Structure 1
């Protein structure tokens, strides 16, 4: 697994990598993760179940995304692939430079490559045009693509000019046991609306700032709990000051993932005002915790929850106020019983099922033959009149660098890593009835550095 986004950073991609890797390990596969260093977290770390993570030194440019190094990443990445006897490279995130570079280098080395797209992009603004061209380059020689929703699939197929037959839809999932509802927690004197999100423009914080005063004015028994941080937090603070809503709007700031459930169960309604979402795992977690959901009807959100768990609204101020008002009236007169949501969703969104479907993708691409260099160049040449020629030069130089590395550091000169004793630790957890399948993220954060020499036995 290759991505810029992994723990200790928190987000949907990060949890997806961790949970998917854990389930693949339980199914008998060897999985390692390659990401960039986070502060003092550098080198090799072992997480729960022997999940091995390489934290590579790289320069972060924005929001934990690294600066593209083109070929600077190749020597150490090749060393890791050979040392760990890797057969498939799975990249995550269109914004991840490590993901794009990892796919390019792995295909040059003759390995199989898979890409999972977690985002939606437009087609008109400069940022989307550049990102789409980069994605077209990366996916010109990909073995398979996975998207988290059907809307995301349509978006990716159009952006990268892919054949729909080469793209699968495998949704995100949730560990439902980590989000058990607690009906005794919410204050019966209030209807509490919870918002947990990164406080950025894409998450619709401007809409949130506009609708909170209107809801508080119309309903004196409604309050808001807002968790998260970001550049838009100052707008929420100014709104609270302007309308004197300190007793009705609580700003919690950053929330660790293992604390999310404790915040969610304090509420009755979960509000999502995002302007774009490929899936939105937050609304699944909220429904699992027993909250009714009100969300903007954008991206892949309409595919996520059954209709009795959610009200939709256009990403407009007036429509959101109407949808929230309907949810408040529904709660006020007892027409909703969210206590059964957790049981329904744990069957719908299961990480073991996601891992099984991903495993089938891996098995299918293992049956295909790798394309020769001339065929790879032909594919890249079709990326555009000028871009195609540039891409061909990048790939040709990548191939020459690989041959140079093969001459300087032959495969047999690279020491193979000792395999982590998965079976021994799996038996240990089974004997002690402490299966590590529902560890919360605070356990992930407290990872341990392990010397491989300990496993020489």
Structure 2
């Protein structure tokens, strides 16, 4: 029988805020619960969301009342979070702490404190960062501090893995690639075709009605309106695309500081009847917006994965996206038109996509079934579960890291269970000391202070006096088998 775990997902980014990280945490938690694990989520308080909340699928969410400073990231407290965090971990009898997102203060602090408490830790990176500007240098140093003492790291794409390995100076064998997924049933095309199935791709089913030369093509954009999401690029490209292709219109959903630039562009070019600004939309409304269009435009300047383009393809939209980060790994070439993150190339790529649709060269009616076979959250949960088994010792080190017995003697001390899973204070100090001439010493001081705080909490607030929360009923063994059977049938 496979072991089950009590897992804490920790991140500043969670519902009700929409986004890829938020959706990833929720969907992964749901599927892990389906596999018999206990999952809680720890995040900061949102407007109208405070205290402890239960989601309909039995996942408990702790909203910690911390100050939010920028883009839903909480103010870093380093040590102030520890008493609350310890109380939650003991109440819920947590075995594994799984943090998400590079810019989440709660994530990094949770991993740091969890190691002090002797808990297994996993970190998932969802973003790409550079190496030259001051903000990236600070973020990378913070990541180096956090990941110097973590059991395993997960990245959502191979490009993301390369970036994280370089930023945090990690052994590549300590990093696994597990992509995002999509609930295809929630992103069906507007007019589903029952005769088109995953088994009919080779039978060349009849195409849908061809777009005429004067039919309007709708281009959809759903994104946070920030610089890194390519909003400036979008603002410059929209007037040129509409000028080159008169029978086109745009639907833009999302909010952010760059929204005012889009509104000014619409006013200056008198495009009120050609560009519709919807503002922020809830995640459950994304499909209803997407099915209004023919093309999905994704002008991001940096992206580790890009779940939204998978959702768009599942809705039957032809995807135009910038060839940056992990985006080229996400969808096959017949579903996408790639562009350089430049205005001229984005305009040209969009024109190419419009011409392909009018010439009926793209079978978008087949996209939904193809996406359904490519991405599954059940598959993501099973692969994440294998990481949990590897760091907890449920499977052998050789099986988890993929080396044979002949090479075991030469296995580096910085790799595998012997290198990262020791909770001894002296071993932790050795790992942090190598983070830099000055930073290493500062990190060691933080570890010692955190350990002393932990001893103080153990003496003055003994764990015997902390009430244990009753578990939500877990899935039965038969239900777990049905889940695995369903996942294998989809593969």
TM-score, with structure 1 as normaliser: 0.91
Tell me which residue corresponds to 2:473. 421
How far apart are the structure 1 equivalents of 2:434 and 2:327?
34
User: 1:38 is matched with which residue: 46, 51, 60?
Assistant: 46
Between 1:335-344 and 1:121-130, the stretch displaced more is 335-344
Find out whether 1:115 has 2:141 as its counterpart: no
What whole-Å deviation, never above 9, does each CA across 1:62-88 have from its counterpart, x for those lacking one? 111011111111011101111111000
Superposed displacement of residue 237, structure 1: 1.1
* Aligned equivalent of 1:67, options 75, 87, 95: 75
Q: Distance in 1 between matches of 2:48 and 2:225?
A: 26
Cα deviation for residue 348 of structure 1 reads: 1.1
Structure 2: state its 5+ residue gaps. 1-8, 193-207, 394-416, 483-491
**Matched residues in 2 for 1:198 and 1:118: separation?**
15
What aligned pairs does 1:251-270 form with structure 2 within 5 A after superposition?
251-270=277-296
CA contact (8 A) 1:209 1:236 kept: yes
2:167 pairs with one of 159, 173, 189: 159
| 1:103 alignment counterpart | 111
Which of 450, 460, 482 is equivalent to 1:408?
A: 460
Deviation by residue 1:389-408 (Cα, 9 ceiling, x = unmatched): 00000000000100111111
Tell me the secondary structure at the aligned position of residue 38 of structure 2: coil
Which stretch shows the higher mean deviation, 415-424 or 260-269? 415-424
Q: For 1:183 and 1:297, how far apart are their aligned partners in 2?
A: 30
* 2:147 paired residue number: 139
Matched, 1:285 2:337: no
Deviations 1:432-455 (A, max 9, x none): xxxxxxxxxxxxxxxxxxxxxxxx
Distance 1:290 1:273 in 2: 19
What's the offset of the Cα at 1:423? Answer: 4.6
Give, in whole Å, the separation in 2 of the partners of 1:34 and 1:209. 37
Name the SS for the 2:251 alignment partner: strand
Where in structure 1 are there 5+ consecutive unaligned residues? 431-457
| Structure 2 CA distance for aligned equivalents of residues 94 and 239 of structure 1 | 33
Instruction: Say if 1:210 and 1:317, in contact at 8 Å, map to a contact too.
Output: yes
1:47 corresponds to which of 50, 55, 60: 55
Post-superposition shift, 1:331?
Answer: 0.6
Q: Distance in 2 between matches of 1:357 and 1:244?
A: 51
Q: How many residues align?
A: 428
CA–CA separation in structure 2 for the residues paired with 1:392 and 1:139? 14
1:351 to 364, 369, 377: 377
Shift of 1:206: 1.0
**Residue 323 of structure 2 corresponds to residue 297 of structure 1:** yes
Aligned Cα root-mean-square deviation (Å): 1.8
Tell me the equivalent position of 2:190.
182
* Rounded Cα–Cα distance in structure 1 between residues aligned with 2:444 and 2:285: 48
1:390 pairs with 442, 448, 469, which one?
A: 442
Kept in 1, the 8 Å contact 2:305–2:327? The answer is yes
The question of whether the paired residues in 1 share the 8 Å contact of 2:422 and 2:428 is answered with: no
* Pairing of 1:186-201 with structure 2 (within 5 A): 189-201=215-227
Partner of 1:124: 132
**3-state SS in 1 of match to 2:93:** coil
Q: 1 CA distance for matches of 2:286 and 2:331?
A: 19
| Structure 2 residue matching 1:75: 3-state secondary structure | helix
Q: Which residue of 2 aligns with 1:13?
A: 21
2:340–2:346 Cα contact (<8 Å) kept: yes
Aligned twin of 2:413: none
Counterpart for residue 150 of structure 1: 158
